[in-house]
Amino acid sequence: MSYLTYQSHTARFIQVTMASDQTGIGDTSTTVEFDTITADSGHGVSISSNLITLSAGKHYWGFGCVVMTRTSTNDPQRVKFFESDGTTELLPADGFFDSELPDTNNTDSRVIQFSVSPTSNLSFYVKTQDADGDIESDGTHIIIIEMS
């Protein structure tokens, strides 16, 4: 009797960033304007109108942060993932983990992350909530490791 004890995958590394700062963010839910992909060839990640899409049949682990300079610290800054409809939040049960910056901090960032293996293409937005100010392109990013 024998068992398969080794499985090989091809890893691809993808960096998702913003080309420029996003200024004048209000206290409401605001989509982060990710618009640039730098990556190994052959990856299955795309961006269209700030909507990030992961191809089906692959394994993804992603982490990153949204860097804000806040004009007010009355509320905590939250960064969350939302489905392609823009209103349904993706939760830890879905493999998505948001971040929260306490209301006492003016400038900082916290790590967001996800770990998913979609059976059909999976699209999502990254949004800030309850914080006003500017999203800085310098430092705002998501690093995605794709295993296929």
pLDDT tops 90 at residue 131: no
Higher pLDDT, 1 or 114: 114
Q: Report the mean per-residue pLDDT for the chain.
A: 89
Which tokens hold the place of 87? 């209103």
Q: Percentage of the chain with pLDDT > 70? A: 91
What's the confidence (pLDDT) of residue 5? 67
Confidence of residue 6 (pLDDT cuts 50, 70, 90): low
> Model pTM?
0.89
Q: How confident is the model at residue 2 (pLDDT cuts 50, 70, 90)?
A: low
Mean pLDDT of 32-58: 95
Q: What is the distance between the alpha carbons of residues 61 and 143, in angstroms, rounded to a whole number?
A: 8
pLDDT value, residue 77: 81
pLDDT-based confidence at residue 105 (cuts at 50, 70, 90): low
Token pair of 101 as six digits: 């910056």
Q: What is the pLDDT of residue 16?
A: 97
Phi, psi for residue 94 in degrees, rounded to 5: -90, -5
Q: How far apart are CA 134 and CA 71, in angstroms?
A: 8
Cα separation, 36 vs 121, in Å, equals 19
